[in-house]
Structure 1
Amino acid sequence: MAKTEKLLIGPRLRRLRTQLGLTQTRMAEDLGISGSYLNLMERNQRAMSAKVLLKLSETYEIDLSDLTSGTDRQLVGELFSALRDPALGKERVPKSEVEDVVGASPATARALVNLHQRHTELSRRMLRDEGADEAASTLRDSVPATDLIQDVLYRARNYFDPLDRAAEALNDRMNLRRGEPMADLRARLRSHKILVRVLPYDLLPNMLRYFDRHSGRLNLSELLPDASRRFQVAARLALLEEGDMIDRIVADAKLPNRDAERLLRTTLANYFAAALLMPYGAFLKAAEDLRYDMDALAHRFGTSAEQVAHRLTTLNRSGARGVPLFFVRLDIAGNLSKRFSQGRFVFPRFGGLCPRWAIHEAFASPDRPIVQCVEMPAPKGEKGDRYLTIARRVTRAGGTSSEPAQSFVIGLGCDMSHASRLVYSDWLTGGLSGAPMPIGPNCYLCDRDACPQRAHPPLGRDAIHDDRARGLGQFAIGKEG
């Protein structure tokens, strides 16, 4: 932070205090300052000093970037995307104003994002069914369950402390990593009067797992590799041993429909399974020792690379946090089937990903991860946020000669300030100081006018077709409408 820069973060400071349930007097005592000084900081009448900022971070175990980065970047990206909807007209709200709104009133910003989502779904339903009355009555149930679950994970920072600690405790009781994991998992499931059977794939057509409640059998397809079989058994144990805890988390989420509740329940069971097979303390230590090498961690814990990637995004325990990583999974057509944003990197809710991001190249390079430094757009004169990204192809369990297994690419990434902690930073051409690849969220939301790979103009901008010249890109972008 430059010496001349004043840190005015009053609304965020007040919001943090409220979230912690503290009075101004109590927080002032914790920080060793006067109540009047804290009051002035919350009203942006005094800047926060570096000493107070560090004390705040140490006392309440928060990331300095959460306070100093300006705003909630995930929410900024979502609101910015919503405000570019053509249905709102051609007038575009500058990103700086969006950041001001989020910084001053995040609850209002979230309400606007939710309103836009519901408007979008209502419009789709009306176009499809031509039934406005029915659409209005079912509006609350129309938001896709996957989007609702992504919001739950984001609010929890993809970490559920009671569930994670319960899984870690169960791992200790079972001595799971000291013996044969699958044998121990089967024995634990037998204590619940459930048997595990591995069946020929033709007896489980189009299925990799089927739980028969009546016979008390968990049927697994022979197409599942060992790591996936262990994971399926662990997920069933989650519902049997911690079903009440999972139900409480689902109830607290206050989801609007049964589909979303069922999906969240499955998501939490999978979370428990990963935490059971990769217990927090041991996994975090191994991740740091092995510099977040996905393959090395998969071998050490008997899991798949994708399971490791998911687990790495959950290392958010207070006082024992790992590198803040974001995660995405997409198919060869560019469809996003999973995403988790952390820090400042924001995934768009529609429109695919930037074609300049090397994540797409991983489909053609199955044997080696694709490592890249990328830079997001920024206002003129400022440097954009930079990230180390890792992409690799993975194959879903299953697959025969007649029905090949489906392939995906998973991507992990972190802010460049954390890059040296990852082994993949050693693979960067030019090292950590090398020139980054300029990318954007996607073509709908990116302001890089001269991009040679732009597929279409940004929302709310016109393309200029000039018969006198042709640039490298497909479009010349007009001024804001």
Structure 2
Amino acid sequence: MTADSLTGSRIRERRLMLNIRQADLAQDVGISASYLNLIEHNRRRIGGKLLVTLAQALGVEPSVLTEGAEATLVAALREAAVDARRPQAELDRVEEFAGRFPGWAEVLAETHTRIGALERTVRGLSDRLTHDPHLAASLHEVLSTAAAIRSTSAILAEPGELEAEWRDRFHRNLDEDAQRLADSSRALVRFLDDSDQGSERRGIPQEEVEAFFTARGFHFPQLETGAATAAELAHQAPELEGRAAQKLAASALADYEVDARAMPLGVFKEALTRVGMRPGQLAREFGVEVHRVLRRLAALPEEVLGQPAGLVVCDASGSILFRKPVAGFSLPRFGASCPLWPLFTALSQPDVPIRRQVHQQGRAARDTLCFAISWAAEPLTFDTDPVRRAAMLILPGPSAEGAEDGGVPQEPEAQASRPVGASCRICVRRGCAARREPSILRGSQELEPVSL
């Protein structure tokens, strides 16, 4: 049923809301009750003067009776039905439901949105509780301190007299342990606090740095124009409270500053328009390494790049050093990422550009185009082991036709999307040879083989 055929339903709902009898409304507008009944059951179309008269009698604008439900509301209801996996849902009557009961429709759509947000929060917290080494260390500190306080208290509570020197020492230890417990508890609460005032999450330097970059959209006009230096921005940022966070941010901003000087924004935009999404060719044009082009592309505003972009940088151990999240590709906050990511493939093939189209399964599954490469972070010598880094540019959406991998021809099968996950603990994929541990998500095969 189309939106414009629901005028009668809206007239009926409005009349019932005002507690007006059908016969009384018909008399007020000068038509028979039987004709009004046909109108209210959408068996007679209505317009012109009669519509205006009915709207005046019901105390609303004519557009309230004629316009259909908001497209976003209808779309939200359809999404709720699909997510509920209820094939018997009457999807063909969703517009009628939204038109007749707009209040309940909004409640249902809002509830669906809230449930989705809570599910994402639960998954994020589960991943955090499972893999966050800092959280584990903080909990261990709290439990150890509590155990020390209990032991000291038990000694003081034992019958018998203690020498004054030992009693004072135990009291002093008890006071110190209690203070340490209070400090650890406050730090733990602060670490876990995810207030609704913003997306920033504090507690460790990496999170302060991420909050700093996120608040500025990962783009810094001051460094583009040379109006400020990386050190100045890091020192003045209110999000960076600790010296460690300032140092990490200054290092990342220094890379940004070097990239901006080698690839000025205006010139780079022109080259990107002319060349397209070809990191290898862009690197040759500017005479820079491919990984710097990947960083530069991720730092461009979405309106300049023409699409959202994410970035991940890791070291040789696979630990995430820098992350720019992007919708459509889930990035675990702490380590234990999917080993099938092109990022880690690049680590096994030093200095070889990798182009992969992957499909990350999950609630918002979609195809994603990834460019990755690893490089030596320090000059190679005969007396030291190489220190390697890897970077991966993430472009959610359909594969870009004609995009290349930086100069290395791809085998035909590389063009098909390859399934990957986010982290084994929250991955729904089944039968994955790279799985390290069972998933906590319902519906996964908890007893499938795990690689050791």
Q: Which residue of 2 aligns with 1:330?
A: 314
Q: Aligned to 1:82, which of 125, 147, 165?
A: 125
| Contact in 1 for aligned 2:338/2:421 (Cα 8 Å) | yes
TM-fit CA distance, 1:79: 5.2
Match for residue 225 of structure 2 among 163, 166, 170:
166
CA deviation digits over 1:332-378, x for unaligned, max 9?
Answer: 33222222222321210234221233432323333532222211113
The 3 A distance-change label for structure 1 pair 427 and 41 is: farther
Instruction: After TM superposition, list the pairs within 5 Å mapping 1:312-331 onto structure 2.
Output: 312-316=297-301, 318=303, 320-331=304-315
| Alignment partners' CA distance in 2, 1:284 and 1:365 | 30
Asked whether 1:404 is paired with 2:385, we answer yes
- Structure 2 equivalent of residue 452 of structure 1: 433
Say which SS state the counterpart of residue 405 (structure 2) adopts.
helix
CA distance in 2 between partners of 1:286 and 1:157 (Å): 22
Aligned-pair RMSD on alpha carbons? 4.4
Residues of 1 paired with 2:352 and 2:133: CA distance? 38
Q: Give the distance between the partners of 1:165 and 1:74, measured in 2 at CA.
A: 36
How far apart are 1:120 and its partner, in Å? 5.8
Q: Report the alpha carbon displacement of residue 396 of structure 1 after superposing the two structures with TM.
A: 1.0
SS of equivalent to 1:400:
coil
How far is the alpha carbon of 1:84 from its aligned partner? 5.3
Shift of the 306–368 alpha-carbon distance from structure 1 to 2, 3 Å rule, reads closer
The answer on whether the counterparts of 1:376 and 1:386 sit within 8 Å (CA) in structure 2 is yes
In structure 1, runs of 5+ residues without a counterpart are 5-33, 49-69, 88-115, 171-236, 466-470, 476-481
Structure 1 or 2, whichever has the larger Rg, is 2
Aligned residue number for residue 420 of structure 2: 439
Structure 2 equivalent of residue 96 of structure 1? none
Equivalent residue number for residue 474 of structure 1: 450
Deviation string 1:200-258 (CA, Å, 9 cap, x unpaired) is xxxxxxxxxxxxxxxxxxxxxxxxxxxxxxxxxxxxx8258xx3x6655x13x3x4433
8 Å CA contact 2:428, 2:441 repeated in 1? no
- SS of 1:136's equivalent in the other structure is helix
Is the contact between residue 387 and residue 415 of structure 1 (CA under 8 Å) also seen in structure 2? yes
Deviation at residue 393 of structure 1 after TM alignment: 2.0
SS of the residue corresponding to residue 313 of structure 1 reads: helix
Q: Deviations over 1:31-65 (max 9, x none)?
A: xxx99999x859948989xxxxxxxxxxxxxxxxx
State whether structure 2 residue 307 is matched by structure 1 residue 291: no
Greater relative CO (CA pairs within 8 A, separation 6+): 1
3-state DSSP of counterpart to 1:424: coil
The structure-2 alpha-carbon separation of the partners of 1:279 and 1:76, relative to structure 1 and needing over 3 Å to count, comes to farther
Q: 1:276 aligned to 2:261?
A: yes
Structure 2, unaligned runs of 5 or more: 4-62, 78-112, 147-179, 192-201
Contact 2:234 2:247 in 1 (8 A): no
User: Quick check: 1:238 aligned with 2:229?
Assistant: yes
Q: Which amino acid aligns with 1:452?
A: A
CA distance in 1 between partners of 2:145 and 2:445 (Å): 33
**Equivalent residue number for residue 290 of structure 2:** 305
Q: Deviations over 1:39-96 (max 9, x none)?
A: x859948989xxxxxxxxxxxxxxxxxxxxx89x999866522145668xxxxxxxxx
Gap change, CA 1:329 and 1:43, over 3 Å in 2? closer
- 8 Å Cα contact 2:291-2:374 kept in structure 1: no
Correspondence for 2:139 among 119, 123, 134 = 123
Structure 2 Cα separation of the partners of residues 75 and 370 of structure 1: 36
> Which deviations, in whole Å up to 9, do the C-alpha atoms of 1:114-146 show, x marking residues without a partner?
xx9996664254257664223024444872211
Match in the other structure for 2:217: 157
Q: Which of residues 118, 132, 136 is equivalent to 2:185?
A: 136
Task: Mark the CA change 1:268 to 1:395 in structure 2 (over 3 Å): closer, same or farther.
Answer: closer
Equivalent-residue separation in structure 1 for 2:402 and 2:272 (angstroms): 10
Residue-pair matches, total: 308
What's 1:346 paired with? 330
Structure whose residues are more often helix by fraction: 2
Aligned to 1:378, the other structure's residue is in SS state coil
Query: 3-state SS of the aligned residue for 1:449?
Result: coil
Give the equivalent residue in structure 2 for 1:371.
355
TM-score, length of structure 2 as denominator length: 0.55
Q: Partners in 2 of 1:86 and 1:270 — Cα distance? A: 32
If each structure's strand is expressed as a fraction of its own residues, which one has the higher value?
1
Distance 1:330 1:76, change over 3 A: farther
Call closer, same or farther: CA 1:128–1:403 in 2, change over 3 Å. Answer: farther
CA contact 2:433–2:450 (8 Å) conserved in 1: yes
- Aligned equivalents of 2:257 and 2:284: distance in 1? 20
Q: Structure 1 pair 43/297, CA: closer, same or farther in 2 (3 Å)?
A: closer
Cα 1:146/1:283, change in 2 over 3 Å: same
Contact 1:369/1:392 (CA < 8 Å) preserved in 2?
A: yes
SS at match of 1:438: strand
8 Å Cα contact 2:205-2:245 kept in structure 1: yes
Q: Which residue is equivalent to 1:185?
A: none
Following TM superposition, by how much is the alpha carbon of 1:388 offset from its aligned partner in structure 2, in angstroms?
A: 1.3
